[in-house]
Amino acid sequence: MTAVTKPSASTNFFIRLQNVSAPIRWMFVAAAGMLALTFVAQFGKGDPGLLTSSSASGAMIRWAAPILLAGLGGLFSERAGVVNIGLEGMMILGTWGAAWGGINYGPWWALVIAASFGALGGLLHAIATVSFGVDHIISGVAINILAPGVTRYLSDQIFTGYKGGSVSQSPGAGHFSRFNVPFLSGGDSLLGWKSPNTLGWIDKKNWFFVSDVSALIRGMFVQISWFTVIAYLLVPISGFVLWRTRFGLRVRISGERPSAGESLGVNIYYHKYMAVIISGAFSGLAGAFIVLELTGFYRQGQTTSRGYIGLAALIFGNWRPGGVLMGALVFGYPFGLALRDLGGDATQNLLLVIAIALGVVLIWAVRRRKRADSLLAGGLGGIILIWYVLSTSAPKWLPNTMPYVMVLLTLIFLSQHLRMPADDGRIYRKGET
């Protein structure tokens, strides 16, 4: 512990890291994460090459997208001060809408209809919470209970009449055509011309780190659809709308100090309504992503609580779009990886990655002289490291548990840095001070 007493470059480094702008900070964290993955993929037990393969990052992009969309939905709603635990229910409405739209009018209309279905759920939540002052959690839970019932009723009315459909399932809903991004990942022939596969070429060179990173990046651009592109573009768009437009400023004041906003003439109710409806539309898109990109059809219960994981990503990401993206990727990665990991080695080596991450937290906590945090990070990291060394395979429940564990760890170590909108979750009445 003597090393702690003298200030060093890395102390400044951590402090400096907190002062740079969010995109650069997140890029740095992502690069550090990739370095840890590369290290483990190279030196881990068994055959963990999958960790830095394009197949793993492709799965991450797919499995993170619904979490991301739900998280962005939560971002809009909570920035306006309305806690939206009904994301799950709105997602379910979206899955049904996407399937129905996809079957009858094709994938683009499926998006529109899914977003509208989700927005309807959002409207209901807004009416209950904003106009009638119902407790946000109660209204949200009610929507989560209502949505599966509504979709089952609709399926009974409509899908049972389709061939291959039933009360709990729709026939194939179709999907967008998929493509590889030209130049980066060897795009498909454009006008009879074959694009070079730059990243794939670097990947094959087997240069330490460089090849791993290019494989990971390549996977993000292979067999994607326009829907995937839209989903990820919504991150900067959300950031722009919320932080760079008049509308966004007014939405945020509704979540921070609504009475102050009202005194300046902002229509708080209107902005809360809009934000919650947008939130519902995003959740509907999250449901549509599951139907159109992941499954191919509607199936009762197929959201499997991803709306709640989206909320977790929102908290992990400190109510900011970049943070939500990072949270979604961090949760989506182990999930997609575990599905792709037929041998089981990669999932087990994930334990080592977690141990390394906790090691970094330990250094950070020691530098900042946070005794409790250091003990916790050191203890947990040590236990996981011992577990990794002694075990031969990781438990299969690990990837499913990861989002919750990550959020708990984030809350433990970063709770002082997390700042939710000041008026989030409170019931606001016009004219109150």
Partner 1 sequence: MRKRLVLLFGILASFTLVAAACGNSGSTTAATTTTVATTSTTAAPNPNADFNVGLTFDIGGKGDQSFNDSAAAGVDKAVADFGVTQTDVEPNADGSDRAQILQLQAEQSNIVLAIGFLFADDVANVAADNPKVPFAVIDDPMLNFDTKPPSPRGDNIAGLTFAEEQGSFLVGVAAALTTKTKEVGFLGGVSGFGLIEKFQAGYEAGVKAVDPSIKVVSQYITQFPDFDGFISPDRGKEIAAAMFDGGADIVYAAAGSSGGGMFQAAKEYRDANGTTVWGIGVDSDQYNTVDPSVQDTVLTSMIKHVDVAVYQAIKSVLDGTFAPGQTVYDLSVDGVGYSTSGDFLSADTIAQIEKFKAQIIDGTIVVPTVPT
Give the Cα separation of 233 and 236 in Å (integer): 6
User: Applying CB under 8 A, what is the total number of residues that bind partner 1?
Assistant: 37
Among 25, 257, 299, 370, binds partner 1 (CB under 8 A): 299
CB of 186 to partner 1, least distance (A): 13
Residue 90: which of 155, 126, 143 has the closest Cα?
143
CB of 387 to partner 1, least distance (A): 18
Q: Which is nearer to partner 1, 294 or 408 (CB)?
A: 294
Q: Which of residues 215-254 bind partner 1 (CB under 8 A)?
A: 223
Q: Which is nearer to partner 1, 331 or 428 (CB)?
A: 331
Residue 94: which of 66, 108, 113 has the closest Cα?
113
Task: With beta carbons less than 8 A apart as the criterion, state whether 365 and 374 touch.
Answer: yes
Residue 145 binding partner 1, by CB under 8 A: yes
Q: Is 343 helix (H, G, I), strand (E, B) or coil?
A: coil
Q: Which is nearer to partner 1, 64 or 365 (CB)?
A: 64
Residue 49 binding partner 1, by CB under 8 A: no
Task: With beta carbons less than 8 A apart as the criterion, state whether 84 and 74 touch.
Answer: yes
User: What's the longest Cα–Cα distance across the chain?
Assistant: 74
Residue 59 binding partner 1, by CB under 8 A: yes
CB of 94 to partner 1, least distance (A): 14
Q: Which stretch binds partner 1 (CB under 8 A): 35-43, 163-171, 205-213, 416-424?
A: 163-171
Task: With beta carbons less than 8 A apart as the criterion, state whether 94 and 65 touch.
Answer: no
Task: With beta carbons less than 8 A apart as the criterion, state whether 226 and 181 touch.
Answer: no
Residue 301 binding partner 1, by CB under 8 A: yes
Give the Cα separation of 364 and 384 in Å (integer): 18
Residue 294 binding partner 1, by CB under 8 A: yes
Residue 340 binding partner 1, by CB under 8 A: yes
Q: Which stretch binds partner 1 (CB under 8 A): 231-239, 290-298, 382-390, 417-425?
A: 290-298
Provide the H-helix boundaries in 306-344.
Answer: 306-316, 321-340
Residue 123: which of 253, 344, 274 has the closest Cα?
274
What CA–CA distances, in Å, run from 404 to 248, 278, 390? 30, 26, 24
Exposed / middle / buried, residue 206 (Cβ in 10 Å: 0-12, 13-18, 19+): exposed
Q: Which stretch binds partner 1 (CB under 8 A): 111-119, 160-168, 207-215, 246-254?
A: 160-168
Binding site for partner 1 (CB under 8 A): 55, 59, 62-63, 145, 148, 155, 160, 163-164, 166-169, 171-172, 178, 223, 290, 294-297, 299-302, 304, 336, 339-342, 395-397, 400
